[in-house]
Amino acid sequence: MVIEKTDVKKEDAAKLDLYRQIGIGYQAMLDGKEKSLDQVKKEIQDRRNSRG
């Protein structure tokens, strides 16, 4: 099975987005900020939609 480069790039972009979200969440936690789960879900969905 051959993996297309575009598939790898999409997977890498998704991983980077996940790590960025974790980092943002960790920094917000350290700063004492809070977000609802719905707000976080909406932000993730918006980012996915903007990527296409």
Residue 5 has pLDDT above 70, yes or no: no
Q: How many domains does the chain have?
A: 1
Q: To the nearest whole number, what is the mean pLDDT of the chain? A: 82
pLDDT value at residue 46:
92
Q: Which residue has the tokens 């980077």?
A: 16
Mean pLDDT for the stretch of residues 14-22: 86
Amino acid making up residue 26: Y
Mean pLDDT for the stretch of residues 34-51: 85
Contact of 13 with 51, CB cutoff 8 Å:
yes
